[in-house]
Amino acid sequence: MELVVARNRAELVKARGEGPIALVPTMGALHEGHRALIREARALAARVVVSVFVNPLQFGPSEDLSRYPRTLEADLDACRAEGVAVVFTPAAEDMYAADRQVGVSAGHMGTIVEGTARPGHFDGVLTVVLKLFNLVQPDLACFGQKDAQQLAVIRRMVADLDLPIGIVGVPTVREPDGLAMSSRNRFLSAQDRERALALSRALSAGAVEATPSRVVAVAREVLGAAGLDPDYLTLVDPATFEAVPEAYKGEAVLAVAARVGRTRLIDNALIRL
Ligand code: AMP
Cα angle 155-161-167, degrees, rounded to a multiple of 5: 30
Burial (CB count <10 Å: 0-12, 13-18, 19+), residue 190: exposed
What is the rounded CA–CA span in Å between residue 76 and residue 70? 12
Cα angle 138-139-141, degrees, rounded to a multiple of 5: 70
> Quick one: pLDDT at residue 64?
83
pLDDT tens for the 273 residues of the chain, in order? 799 999 999 999 999 999 899 999 999 999 999 999 999 999 999 999 999 999 999 999 988 899 999 999 999 999 999 999 999 999 999 999 999 999 999 999 999 999 999 999 999 999 999 999 999 999 999 999 999 999 999 999 999 999 999 999 999 999 999 999 999 999 999 999 999 999 999 999 999 999 999 999 999 999 999 999 999 999 999 999 999 999 999 999 999 999 999 999 999 999 999
Q: Report CA(99)–ligand 1 centroid distance (Å).
A: 30
> Quick one: pLDDT at residue 259?
97
Q: Report the DSSP pairing between strands 263-272 and 47-52.
A: unpaired
Cβ–Cβ < 8 Å for 170, 141 = no
Q: In terms of Cα–Cα distance, which of 124, 120, 40, 125 is closest to 84? A: 40
Q: Report CA(267)–ligand 1 centroid distance (Å).
A: 11
Q: Residues lining ligand 1, judged by CB closer than 6 Å?
A: 26-27, 33-34, 36-37, 143-144, 146-147, 170, 172-173, 180-183
Q: Which residues sit in the known binding site?
A: 27-34, 58, 144-147, 150, 173, 181-184
Which atom of ligand 1 lies nearest, measured to the CA of 37?
22
What is the rounded CA–CA span in Å between residue 114 and residue 156? 16
Residues in the chain, total: 273
Q: In terms of Cα–Cα distance, which of 158, 146, 206 is closest to 182? A: 146
> Quick one: pLDDT at residue 62?
87
**DSSP bridge partners of 260:** 263
